């Protein structure tokens, strides 16, 4: 996705179109915990949290807020970027 964002950002220059990528970390959703039997959901949650320096899973709203920021004029000079919304997980 990062390569697509960078390529499209260059290809679409002059068209007032910005292309960025968001790389979310583990996010607390029903779908995430549906991946394992219900008696293992707590183990999955703790195992994922152990990989995140922030010490917790993301809330879906935190990912959505980043999307809203990138869609707004407040980010008008951000183009071809990858933003990790992962609680620092990519740094480990």
Q: How confident is the model at residue 30 (pLDDT cuts 50, 70, 90)?
A: confident
CA pair distance 10, 66, nearest whole angstrom: 22
The number of residues making up the chain comes to 92
Are the C-beta atoms of residues 79 and 6 closer than 8 Å to each other? Answer: no
Q: Which CATH superfamily is domain 2-91 in?
A: NAD(P)-binding Rossmann-like Domain (3.40.50.720)
Q: What is the mean pLDDT of residues 3-21?
A: 93
The tokens describing 75, both together, are 């980010």
Averaged pLDDT score across all residues of the chain: 94
Q: Is the pTM of this model over 0.75?
A: yes
- Does pLDDT of 92 surpass 80? no
CA pair distance 87, 53, nearest whole angstrom: 6
Q: How confident is the model at residue 44 (pLDDT cuts 50, 70, 90)?
A: very high
Residue 58, pLDDT score? 98
Sequence spans of domains, the chain: 2-91
């Amino acid at each position: 996705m990062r390569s697509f964002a960078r390529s499209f950002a260059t290809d679409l220059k002059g068209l007032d179109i910005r292309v960025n990528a968001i790389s979310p970390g583990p996010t607390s959703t029903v779908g995430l915990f549906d991946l394992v039997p219900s008696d293992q959901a707590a183990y999955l949650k703790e195992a994922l949290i152990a990989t995140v320096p922030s010490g917790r899973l993301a809330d879906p709203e935190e990912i959505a807020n980043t999307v809203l920021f990138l869609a707004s004029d407040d980010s008008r000079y951000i183009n071809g970027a990858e933003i990790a919304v992962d609680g620092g997980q990519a740094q480990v």
